[in-house]
Chain A
Amino acid sequence: KNQVEQSPQSLIILEGKNCTLQCNYTVSPFSNLRWYKQDTGRGPVSLTIMTFSENTKSNGRYTATLDADTKQSSLHITASQLSDSASYICVVSPGDKLIFGTGTRLQVFP
């Protein structure tokens, strides 16, 4: 069964600190993996998209990594800001559809 699991479910960090969110998937075949940021009350917004051949991609302070062999991805946030408080959703595509994880709820406190 195609599944995407994320950990932790929620995370609280202090402003300025770094954090890493995890994503494990059992989707097959694999086409691409995405990370979305979803602010409260808003729709998800794409942060990164990676294919099988890419093992890292950055978007500002966000860096996503992909290990297609172990079927794991991580999203690293550097020097967190209050505006990083949101849910981060890992999405894996076998090509014809998107399979969403349940997200990690991140709260950044001053």
Chain B
Amino acid sequence: EAQVTQNPRYLITVTGKKLTVTCSQNMNHEYMSWYRQDPGLGLRQIYYSMNVEATDKGDVPEGYKVSRKEKRNFPLILESPSPNQTSLYFCASSFIHSTGFYEQYFGPGTRLTVT
């Protein structure tokens, strides 16, 4: 089954304790991205990757790192989490549709709480 998986789905941690949220896709998509979703705000892009070893900042990259060593994996790293990073995080992978659009597939989400 074609899918995007994220782990963990739920995480409660403390300020300053490094964490990694993994994202994996089995569709051989080149484009992957991370979003955060907060109440009253639309999904905001954190980082994206056009291909292996090619990553770039989205709209809200501060406090986050990513890596893309393999096509299928795109982990999100919080080196020193802070309470304002408490949010719902989504990973997405995309391919270019025949019509020229990026068709995005979202993972199930990771709910992170930083105390």
Q: Which residues of A contact B (CB under 8 A)?
A: 4, 31-32, 41-46, 49, 51, 89, 93, 97-103
Contacts and interface: CB of A to CB of B under 8 A. Distances in A.
B42 A89 contact: yes
A99 B42 contact: yes
Given A32-B101, A49-B101, A43 B106 contact: yes
Interface of B: 4, 40-45, 58, 90, 92, 97, 99, 101-109
A97 B77 CA distance: 22
B107 to A, nearest CB: 5
8 closest A-B pairs (Cβ-Cβ)?
A: A43-B106, A100-B42, A100-B43, A102-B42, A44-B106, A43-B90, A43-B107, A101-B42
B5 to A, nearest CB: 11
Given A43-B90, A100-B44, 11 more contacts: A32-B101, A43-B105, A44-B106, A49-B99, A49-B103, A89-B42, A89-B43, A97-B58, A98-B104, A100-B42, A102-B41
A9 to B, nearest CB: 9
Contact of A42 (B44, B97, B109): B109
B91 to A, nearest CB: 8
Contacts of A101: 42
Given A32-B101, A49-B101, A102 B40 contact: yes
A103 B92 contact: no
A43 B92 contact: yes
A42 B40 contact: no
B104 to A, nearest CB: 7
A37 B43 CA distance: 13
B45 A103 contact: no
Contacts of A42: 108-109
Nearest to A51: B99
A43 B42 contact: no
Contacts of A31: 101
A43 B44 contact: no
A93 B107 CA distance: 20
B103 A41 contact: no
A99 B41 CA distance: 11
B112 to A, nearest CB: 14
